[in-house]
Amino acid sequence: MFARAVIFLGPPGAGKGTQAKLVASRFNVPHLSTGDMLRDNVSRGTELGLLAKPVMERGELVSDALVLRMVEERIARPDCRNGFVFDGFPRTVAQAEALDGILAKQGIGAPAVIYFNVAEDVLMRRLTGRRTCKACGEIYNIYDRPPKVDGRCDADGGELVQRADDKPEVIRERLAAYDRQTKTLVDYYRSQGVLHEVDGAASMEAVTASVFGALSKFEARA
């Protein structure tokens, strides 16, 4: 199907990761979460991880230069030939402009951008309730999507853990960083005619239906 870049844009906790996994799996393309890539570097203690760790712990954005180097290296790999789903990237105008250049250089057309619109009170509940499987990365929520067995992944029994940056004081800073640096990308992509807004506060199934509906419209236009 789909030789293109898809971007999932929205505030922390909007459901980008939850939906990106489904889309990437359906179209058999990589799910590229810059947050996951950075956390992987942190846990392996790489040079990038050592630089990113204190920034992420404060809830701020990692520098554009570091993120762009990581992303450019990742999408040059052969598994990205038929497209990819970005979750949490780009997050600044500088990242978006650099991505435009990278996509043009690689002969990939304009991205399809799905914007998840969700109010802040919903985001706080989602983020404080999130638990993630240490083994497979499956995302749960103790309020809205609890596992069958407390603390264990339904798929593989892996331990469910809370992310270090899902503490209320760090969440507040992440939301402020979104308002300061990322929200402006909604207008950036709307003005390019590639933005599709979904009601991210709806049920997971309803959001999934809206996302796939939006993507098939993009495909019909391509």
Residues assigned a catalytic role: 16, 91, 130, 163, 174
CB 164, CB 42: distance < 8 Å: no
Per-residue CA distances from 102 to 9, 32, 68, 107 (Å):
18, 15, 10, 9
Whether 66 and 48 have beta carbons less than 8 Å apart is answered as yes
Site for ligand AP5 in 19-38 (CB under 6 A): 34-35, 38
Residue 207 is a binding residue for ligand AP5 (CB under 6 A): yes
* Cβ closest to ligand AP5, residue 148 vs residue 221: 148
Edge-to-edge strands of the sheet including 31-33? 31-33, 83-87, 4-9, 112-117, 195-199
Q: Which residue is nearest to ligand AP5 (CB)?
A: 35
Question: What residues contact 200, with CB distance under 8 A and at least 6 apart?
Answer: 10, 14, 15, 116, 117, 118, 207
Which residue in the set 7, 24, 42, 56 belongs to the binding site for ligand AP5 (CB under 6 A)?
Answer: 56
Greatest pairwise CA separation for the chain in angstroms:
48
Which of 9, 61, 96, 99 lies at the binding interface for ligand AP5 (CB under 6 A)?
61
Cβ proximity to ligand AP5: between 206 and 222 the closer is 206
Q: How far is the CB of 18 from ligand AP5 (least distance, A)?
A: 3
User: Residue 172 and residue 165: Cα distance in Å, rounded?
Assistant: 10
199/219 with CB nearer ligand AP5:
199
Would you tell me which residues interact with ligand AP5 (CB under 6 A)? 10, 12-18, 34-35, 38, 55-56, 59-62, 67, 87-89, 91, 95, 126-127, 129-130, 139-141, 144-145, 165, 174, 203-204, 207
